[in-house]
Amino acid sequence: MKTFADLQFPGRLVAVEGLDGSGKSTQIYLLKRWLEAEGIKVYFSEWNSSELVKSATSKGKKRELLTPTTFSLIHATDFADRYERHLMPLLRAGYVVLCDRYIFTAFARDVTRGCPPDWVRGNYSFACAPDLTMFFKADLDVSLNRILDGRPKLKFFEAGMDLRLSNDPYESFKIFQGRILDQYLAMTKEFNFVIIDANQPVEKQQVIVRKLVSDRIDLKKFKRRSLLPLPPSLRSRRQEPDKEELEKEEDKEA
């Protein structure tokens, strides 16, 4: 699998993966804040967030219409929409793109749900590999406690209830997350995950994350430059007062 750097894209893609409650979203958020403050052209994209596909996904989830196959396909559709609409153009324009979950989430979850690994991987084969994938590895109990401590109402698919692992959503969630973790760990080598010990304090992890990113990516190349000077033809137009503005002024005077 080729990375964006291998394919000479001007941009770079950094992905974080891990179980719910591993703290990966916090880490990528802090990474984004830092890159923005450094003046880097950065874009953040979340799993399952394409506007167009969202209404179908939430209907499917609410009404429990999804099977392992349609669950997999609808998430692939969502990913493809974000990939083609946002990620590709941004990567071509030299952005650092940060992804909270990437195709490996599908590889782990959909296979846990019973989809054949080759089929899932084939469907996502249009996507390039990230230039850096960080896997946040927390002890299963730590992740589970982070999520379950608040005794949240676990959603049907989130808890893996469709797999009929247990009638108790909490029990089901635990078994489901354990199986996903196994899938992730089995992929670590194949996809060059950099494993981050997510049992450490947030600050410590963030230091490691920032170091990794700046070692892997020559960040100064991604700085937002000040706007290019406009060509003379446009410059003169910009200096002219806007027609609408003038009209507004006249209105006021009247």
Partner 1 sequence: MNNNTHRFYGHGIPQVDSEALGGRLIVVEGADGSGRSTQIAELVNWLETSGHATVQVGLKRSTLVSEELQRAQAGNVLSRTTLALFYATDFADQLENLILPALKSGFIVLADRYIYTLMARDMVRGMDEGWLKNLYGIAPEPDAVFYLSVEPQELVQRNLSKTATLDYWESGMDLGFSRDLFDSFLKYQAAMGEAFRQLQKTYHFDIIDANRSASSVNKDLRKKIGALLVEL
Point out which residues bind partner 1 (CB under 8 A): 52-53, 55-56, 59-60, 65-70, 73-74, 76-77, 80-81, 83-85, 113-116, 118-119, 122-123, 125-126
Q: Which is nearer to partner 1, 33 or 85 (CB)?
A: 85
In this structure, what DSSP letter does residue 87 have?
A: I
Least Å distance, CB 183 to partner 1, is: 15
- Contact between 172 and 163 (Cβ < 8 Å): yes
Least distance to partner 1, CB of residue 160, Å = 14
Radius of gyration for the chain, computed over Cα atoms and rounded to the nearest angstrom: 22
Q: Give the C-alpha distances (Å, rounded to integers) separating 136 from 2, 18, 91, 167, 252.
A: 22, 5, 24, 29, 60
- Closest separation between CB of residue 188 and partner 1, Å? 24
Q: Closest distance between partner 1 and the C-beta of residue 8, in Å? A: 21
Q: Which is nearer to partner 1, 73 or 165 (CB)?
A: 73
Residues 104, 187: contact at Cβ < 8 Å? yes
Contact present, 92 and 11 (Cβ < 8 Å): yes
Q: Which is nearer to partner 1, 60 or 178 (CB)?
A: 60
Query: Least separation, in Å, of the C-beta of 45 and partner 1?
Result: 14
Sheet containing strand 96-100, strands side by side: 42-46, 96-100, 12-18, 132-137, 193-197
- Nearest in space to 66 (alpha carbons), one of 80, 81, 50, 77: 77
Query: By C-beta, is 53 or 96 nearer to partner 1?
Result: 53
Distances (CA, A) of 18 to 25, 28, 68, 90, 187: 9, 12, 20, 25, 12
Amino acid at 157: F
SS3 231: coil
Nearest residue (CB) to partner 1, 80 versus 185: 80
Asked whether the beta carbons of 186 and 196 are under 8 A apart, the reply is no
Minimum CB–partner distance for residue 121 and partner 1 (Å):
9
The least distance separating partner 1 from the CB of residue 21, rounded to whole angstroms, comes to 27
Which C-beta is closer to partner 1: that of 125 or that of 236?
125
Q: Which CB sits closer to partner 1, 78 or 131?
A: 78
Other beta carbons within 10 angstroms of residue 91's beta carbon come to: 22
